[in-house]
Structure 1
Amino acid sequence: MQALLNAIATMALPTDAQRVFHGRGGLFPGCEQWALDAFPPVLVLTSFQAVSDDELATIGVALSTRWAQISPDQPLNWVFQCRAEGHLETRLMSGEVPDPHVVTEKGSSFRVHVLKGQNHGLFLDMAEGREWVRRMVRNYGADQPRLKVLNLFAYTCAFSVVALQAGAKQVVNVDMSHGAMAIGQQNHPLNGITTGATFLMHDIFKTWGKITRGGPYGLVIVDPPSYQKGSFVATKDYAKLMRRLPELLAPGGYALLCLNAPELGLDFLQDQMKELAPELKFVERVANPVVFADVSPERSLKVLAYQMPSLPASVEHAA
C-alpha cells in the first residue's frame, strides 16, 4: 500500500477529472489492487480485492492530511468502491457528492455518477483517445466537406462532444443502453452543443442499414466493451465490425479501434484488420495517459488508428 500512500502524499489539487494512482498497471508491486481517481470535487478510491477497515482508515488519514495541505478551505469528499467478487460495494466515506456531478477534461464538461455502478460516466484512460479525435477533426482539410463521425458503442457520448466542439458537422451516436445515452444527450447542451448529434439507441448489429445509409463517414470510432454478455464479446464480435469499415468510411477517412482487454494483445486487432479490412492502412497506436503506464503495453488499453486510401486525384476531380 505504500506506493498509494506516497502518491496521495504528493498529489496536486486536481481540477480536471483524472487518475491519480494506477496500481493496476503492475508498476507498484503490492499495490495492484488499488486505483485512485479524481472526479473533482470528489476522490474515488477503488480496490479490486477485499479491504480491511484498518486499511481504509490508514488511507483515509492520508487523504485527509494531504487535502488539508492542498485545499484547506474545502471539505474532503471521497468515495470507496470495492470490486472484489463477493464484496461489491460503493460507500461515501467523507463529505458529499454533488448532484448533478459535472467534471471537466481539457475544456469539455461531462456528467458523472460515482455512487452508482462500476462505470462512472467517463473513462479516464481514454483521455488521449478523445484528444486524438479533437486534433484529427480540427486538422481535417479545410477544402473538404465538414467531417461526419460515427460513434459506435457511444456510452455517454464523450467522443461526440469533443468531435463537435472541434468542428465536426455531425456525429451519429449508437448504443443500446438507454441510461448511458440519456446522459450523453445531457452532455451536449452542457457544452453548448445544440445541433449536430444524432442518438440511435439500438443494437448495433441490428441497425446496420440505418447506420450505413447515414454514411459515408470521415471518422468511425469503435469503442466496445471487451465482454458484455448479450451485447458484445470481442473475440467473436469485433471481426463483424472490421468487415464493415470499408463500406462505412469515406475515401481518406479514419477508423479508431479501441480495446480494453488485458488478455488480448495488439495482434488481435492488427492481424484481423489485415485479413478483414486490408484496404485500411495502420497509422498509429494512440498513447495512453502517462499515469496509466503498464508493465506490459500488450495488456493495457489499445487505441489504434487506421485510414482508408484517398481517391486518386483524377477521380476526385471527376467527382
Structure 2
Amino acid sequence: MKPVDPELKKIITNFLSEEQTDVRRIFHGRGQRYPGLEHVCVDWFSPSVLITLFNDYDQLEELASHINAVDIHQQVGSIVVQKRFEKGVPAIALKGAISEELIVSEGALRFEVHFGKHQNIGLFLDMRLLRDWLQKHSKDKNVLNLFAYTCSLSVAALAGGASSVTNVDMSKPSILWGEKNHRLNNQESDRVKSIPHNIYKSWGRTHQFGRYDLVIIDPPTRQKGSFDVTKNYPSVIKRMSKLCNPGAEIIATVNSPFLDENFLLDLFAKHLPQSQFVSTMEVAPEFEDAFPERGLKIYRFSYMA
C-alpha cells in the first residue's frame, strides 16, 4: 500500500502546528497542483477535520493516523470523510463522531454547518475573502443576495453595517438555515428579508424592498429544473437596471471549468451596458488553482445609471 503523499503530510503538519479556531481549507487537491491528489480535499471545521473525496483513496487510515500524530495541541475531535463519488454522498467517521450540526467560526462570524446530511455542508470556504470584503464595504447599504444558499454573504454584509439584506433562494430549508445563521450572529430579524422562491417567480417581491446599493449574484453552475448558468445568467443581469440604485455595486460570480474569464465580462457588456467593470476579486489563497481560469471567478461591477 502506498504511503501518504509527503506534501500532503507536510501541509497538514504545518496547519496543525498552531492552534486553529477559524474554518479553513487545509489541502486543495482539486486545484490540480498536486499530481495524484486531484480527488482529495481537506478542510478544518473546529474541532473536526473533513476529508472530501471525489474518487477512491486508499490511504485514508494512514492519513488519519498522521493527523492524530501531528495534533500536538489536541484540537482534532473528529475526522470525517465524505465520499462525493458514491451515491447518497455518504459520510463516515475515522475518529470521534459525526456532528450533524456544528457551530463554527470565521473571524468574528459564526455559522452552522451540517456533516452527513447534504452534499454541501452549508459554508463555501472559497468565499472567505468576499465575506471579509463585505464586512468592510457594506455600511448603510441595502443589500440583495441572489442565490443566497445559507446566507453567509448576507451575514457578512450585516456584520459590516448594512442597513438591510434581502435573501433569495429557491430552497426554503436553505433560507431557514440562513436565518439561523443571522441569529447566531445576533443580527436583528427586522433587517433581514427572506424570499424562499425560484428567482424568476420572486422578482415582484424583490422589487418591494426598494432599490439596492449592493447586489450579490452567486448562482450554482447548474441547478436542476431552475438555473443553468449559460442559459439563465443573461436574464438575471438584465434585471439589474430595475433593481439597482445609481452607483450600486454588483458582485457576480461564476464557477465552471468550461467558462473563461470573459464569460461574465461579455454578458455584462451586452446585457447591462450601464455597468462598468471595476475589478476581479481574489479567491482565498488556500484555493490556489493550477488553472485559475477554470476555477471560481468573482467580478465587481458598478451600475452607472
Q: TM-score, normalised by structure 2?
A: 0.93
Residue aligning to 2:267: 272
Residue 75 of structure 1 deviates from its aligned partner by 5.4
User: Are the counterparts in 1 of residues 101 and 115 from structure 2 also a CA contact under 8 Å?
Assistant: no
Q: Secondary structure at the match of 1:156?
A: coil
Distance 1:87 1:42 in 2: 21
- The answer to whether the aligner puts 1:150 opposite 2:144 as a matched pair is yes
Match of 1:46 among 49, 52, 71: 52
The residue that corresponds to 2:109 in the other structure is 108
Mapped to 2, the partners of 1:37 and 1:233 lie a distance apart of: 28
CA distance in 1, matches of 2:126, 2:153: 13
1:37 positional shift: 0.3
CA RMSD of aligned residues (A): 1.6
- State whether structure 2 residue 84 is matched by structure 1 residue 56: no
Overall identity of the aligned pairs, in %: 36
- CA distance in 2: counterparts of 1:300 and 1:152, whole angstroms: 20
| Paired residues of 1:50 and 1:87 also in contact (CA < 8 A) | no
| 2:84 matched residue in structure 1 | 83
What pairs with 1:249-268 in structure 2 (closer than 5 Å)? 249-268=244-263
Contact 1:281-1:309 at 8 Å conserved across structures: yes
Pairing of 1:1-319 with structure 2 (within 5 A): 1-12=5-16, 13-52=19-58, 55-67=59-71, 69=72, 71-72=73-74, 74=75, 76-85=77-86, 88-98=89-99, 100-138=101-139, 146-194=140-188, 195-309=190-304
For the residues of structure 1 that align with 2:37 and 2:199, how far apart are their CA atoms?
38
In 1: Cα distance, 2:170 partner to 2:293 partner: 29
1:253-302 CA-partner distances (Å, limit 9, x unpaired): 00000111121111111111110011110011110111101111211111
State the distance in 2 between where 1:167 and 1:22 align: 32
The question of whether the paired residues in 1 share the 8 Å contact of 2:46 and 2:76 is answered with no
State the match for 1:142 in structure 2.
Answer: none
The offset of 1:86, in angstroms, is 5.3
Moved more, 118-127 or 9-18: 9-18
Deviations 1:154-212 (A, max 9, x none): 11111111111111111010111111111111111111112300111111111111212
Task: Give me the whole-angstrom Cα distance separating, in 1, the residues matched to 2:89 and 2:145.
Answer: 31
CA deviations 1:85-106 (Å, max 9, x no partner) are 5584211111134464100112
| Count of residue pairs the alignment pairs up | 298
> If you compute each CA radius of gyration, which structure gives the higher value, 1 or 2?
1
Change (3 A) 1:75 1:162: closer
Question: Which ranges in structure 2 are unaligned for 5 or more consecutive residues?
Answer: none
Q: How many angstroms does 1:27 deviate by?
A: 1.2
How big is the shift at 1:309?
A: 2.1
Residue 248 of structure 2: SS of its match in structure 1?
strand
The one-character-per-residue Cα deviations of 1:7-51 (angstroms, maximum 9, x if unpaired) are 122213321011000011111111111100001111100111122
In the other structure, the counterpart of 1:313 is none
State the secondary structure of the residue aligned to 1:211.
Answer: helix
